[in-house]
Structure 1
């Protein structure tokens, strides 16, 4: 029994000024073909879950192509067509298959297709025909569409934020597809999309209100006909019509129940909508709170420079405010390849240089620092623990550490790398628990890495292309009325 494996995984921030091109996938080191994909088989990722299921259920997994890169702006039409054409060609060349499994994100946007993931499922379905079982596993920040549901037999979604169940949900997706092939089940899918989205500071599934919503969704499994229940939080930085929360229920040959249950959990989440609209403190409020806390380190989440959501990775807003109010002892990364190049040959020397704030006008001005260049590092490192999304391999590019005269430690990188692993610090000989304040450029994704060492984590309402306050953005394509934008006019029943 042969299952084709492929995927294009991208979280597209349509407010980002830099478009996503084919070269971004190439440079990420994660444009993988054939046996190259096998390096992910032992990772806690969706593909790792697919592989484990193939071993347990004794089907052959045929790796075709998998492409992923960090979030950036809208994917160019040329890039999308090049990627999807290669996947379709490989399905034709290596097929026929008994089933197809795709690792998608669910929040990919191209210039031509706002619902790019839906378009991928349409083209794959058109190629393989209506009878071949077809499953997709999506990120919890997916903007799930009706098109995805119509074109697949199984649509499954991570159920944790931070994302620690990519492998588990990938396994479940593959298991359900296998059982469909075996005719043990006959899946029927239903989706509900109430007009609502969530402030990203409230996405944590270990905290309310998402904790209760997930608990309520799990109650549906008391019905033996329920095969899968997926709550998708949506991705608020994609300005598209289908942006927002969605609820997918798969039953065994009972569409009426699938519709009833997806509606039920959607209505429960709708009843919690005002709890999802709480706001984060300002940068100054967060810095002052951090200073007041005796136990260290305090981790400040720079929501406006959330690398995992497509930001610039070089925001200086927190550093400028810290200097203004006299706060020091900060450890943080900054993306600045220009500064790295100037520092690489000056290890052990003093330097005065402007760093950060060079990508665009949203993330602060460059900040001038004086300090000692302490170390150079080539930038590649691994994390063998549980990380957001199951990422195992990281590459910060050429990296230097500067200890500044105002007692901050800045890690300058030449590649945008999310702060979802603290192994970068250890690779540089730095122990993060020795620093009073750590700035992590993210909101939810860094938590698995930092929760074991942090005395407290504070998410800040900092400016930037991923600011937590959705009122900061000019949405042109979202549905209207929609909560929380039109609080009183948005209706769902």
Structure 2
């Protein structure tokens, strides 16, 4: 039985620098904020990085010390006081347990942008390194959408990214990180990293690792990992909702004390991404066309076919969207869809009106479109029937984040449209409806609907594709457009495909 001691903590946020407002501590508390042993009690056994790391630590006989696990729904820059608070919690834990620590495992994101800074993760890991010195290994788990800085690569011993998008392997990522960490602590591996950044910005739906160019890239990464001396090949298509210098595709490769091998593999895989760059661009329907296509598909499907699932990509709260975009819902109502569902519209005013009216009553409301002018106008004077009111509390039952808690605030099932045939989930809080339990908790069986629309880019696929007959990603408006050309970047590295003309067919030599 081993007697190593590891500090486990987490601080994750995917920052959309184009979104309005700041992300303060209250928004972390709205999603997840656990301290000390509460992390073990509430995240043990869940499909999360923390849950996976705890599982391996127990099997390996590693004692864990807990600091904080905090996460907020993607949104605007992290407020400086919130950033200082959570990083302070982690650093206080490092100092408190410094004399007994053999390693540190941090569950981060990779695309955090604090107020007045370009990067949240690199400085945090550097501050941890300063306190523990060069001999205590640090393993860091990261979301596949990280915009990774050189500082992060230099200060961490091992970076371990999700391999799947939808992120159904969060638990596996935590397990890998803890295995690599224990291997490093025990002298079984001596991790060395190199990073390469191909100048390619994939469209959002093209980052799906289950098909297309990303599936091929991930398969190649796994093949490289079979080579002697290779520990981990990480692939990050990046998060293009952030105007920071590190934004973009990156490939950090970890080897066992072989920097030349790490550089060789990262370069080869980056060149492959460059060669496939045209395949990362797509053509997708806008709302009116998408809804009409859903209706056309329904006319040709049998009675036992699953629902047509549409993705309102541009207003995905999982990428920092406001979650009150109306363009797709308006088309569903105007084109007369019935037996259809829409999740979600965040509109506390409408929630309050429905609560005041009560279940079984009708209301007339102006729904959605209230955050700014980028998400469509409110649907004015909408007549609806209040079917259900809930406390918004449920756990994920699907394959992504299984067992995780969700806190929607008060939630309302509002029926509207022709024959009240469109069921809308209206909420107080923003949340990506990636798990189908969001429907069941308001009394809807999603499998029985003809059309389901969710504000998501790819995560919905994990739980919805198995029940669906067809999937339609929509090129809708909002703060999370699938096409990076919709943004006005001032601070990213240029040139980048497809933002810029890059006629030379060879892989650019950034050296």
TM-score, scaled to structure 1: 0.97
Which of 99, 104, 118 is the matching residue for 1:100?
104
Q: Which residue of 2 aligns with 1:399?
A: 411
- Is residue 2:457 matched to residue 1:443? yes
Contact 1:49/1:170 (8 A) holds in 2: yes
- Is residue 2:90 matched to residue 1:76? no
Shift of 1:262: 1.0
CA distance in 2 between partners of 1:446 and 1:481 (Å): 32
Which of 308, 312, 321 is the matching residue for 1:311?
321
Contact 2:98/2:132 (8 A) holds in 1: no
Q: Which residue of 2 aligns with 1:416?
A: 430
Judge which range, 456-465 or 113-122, deviates more: 113-122
CA distance in 1 between partners of 2:341 and 2:222 (Å): 40
Mapping 1:25-104, distance limit 5 Å: 25-28=28-31, 30-38=32-40, 39-96=42-99, 97-104=101-108
Shift of 1:26: 2.4
Mapping 1:347-366, distance limit 5 Å: 347-366=359-378
- Is residue 2:173 matched to residue 1:160? no
Shift of 1:320: 2.0
| SS of aligned partner of 2:466 | coil
Shift of 1:433: 2.1
Q: Which residue of 1 aligns with 2:120?
A: 116
Which of 311, 325, 349 is the matching residue for 1:338?
349
Deviation string 1:456-488 (CA, Å, 9 cap, x unpaired) is: 111000000001122221111111111110132
CA distance in 2 between partners of 1:54 and 1:24 (Å): 30
Q: Which residue of 1 aligns with 2:307?
A: 297
Mapping 1:251-266, distance limit 5 Å: 251-266=255-270
Mapping 1:171-186, distance limit 5 Å: 171-186=175-190
- Is residue 2:291 matched to residue 1:287? yes
Contact 2:485/2:499 (8 A) holds in 1: yes
Which of 10, 13, 24 is the matching residue for 1:10?
13
- Is residue 2:398 matched to residue 1:373? no
Shift of 1:296: 4.2
| SS of aligned partner of 1:231 | coil
Q: Relative to 1, partners in 2 of residues 1:480 and 1:489: Cα closer, same or farther, differing over 3 Å?
A: farther
Deviation string 1:376-421 (CA, Å, 9 cap, x unpaired) is: 111101123311x556211111111122252211111111121111
Deviation string 1:244-281 (CA, Å, 9 cap, x unpaired) is: 11111111111111111111111111111110011321
Contact 2:221/2:269 (8 A) holds in 1: yes
| SS of aligned partner of 2:467 | coil
CA distance in 2 between partners of 1:88 and 1:136 (Å): 15
Which of 232, 235, 253 is the matching residue for 2:236?
232
| SS of aligned partner of 1:119 | helix
Judge which range, 404-413 or 157-166, deviates more: 404-413
CA distance in 2 between partners of 1:140 and 1:46 (Å): 13
Give the root-mean-square deviation of aligned CA atoms. 1.5
| SS of aligned partner of 2:225 | helix
How many residue pairs align between the two structures? 491
| SS of aligned partner of 1:3 | strand
Contact 2:397/2:437 (8 A) holds in 1: no
| SS of aligned partner of 2:11 | strand
Contact 2:110/2:121 (8 A) holds in 1: yes
Deviation string 1:111-165 (CA, Å, 9 cap, x unpaired) is: 2221211111111111111110111000001112211110011011001000011
Shift of 1:202: 0.3
Judge which range, 177-186 or 321-330, deviates more: 321-330
Which of 442, 452, 456 is the matching residue for 2:470?
456
| SS of aligned partner of 1:136 | strand
CA distance in 1 between partners of 2:337 and 2:171 (Å): 41
Contact 2:410/2:427 (8 A) holds in 1: yes
CA distance in 2 between partners of 1:391 and 1:311 (Å): 24
CA distance in 2 between partners of 1:166 and 1:207 (Å): 19
Contact 1:6/1:65 (8 A) holds in 2: yes
CA distance in 2 between partners of 1:151 and 1:488 (Å): 33
| SS of aligned partner of 2:54 | helix
Contact 1:280/1:468 (8 A) holds in 2: no
Shift of 1:79: 2.0
- Is residue 2:138 matched to residue 1:144? no
CA distance in 1 between partners of 2:286 and 2:29 (Å): 37
CA distance in 2 between partners of 1:57 and 1:270 (Å): 40
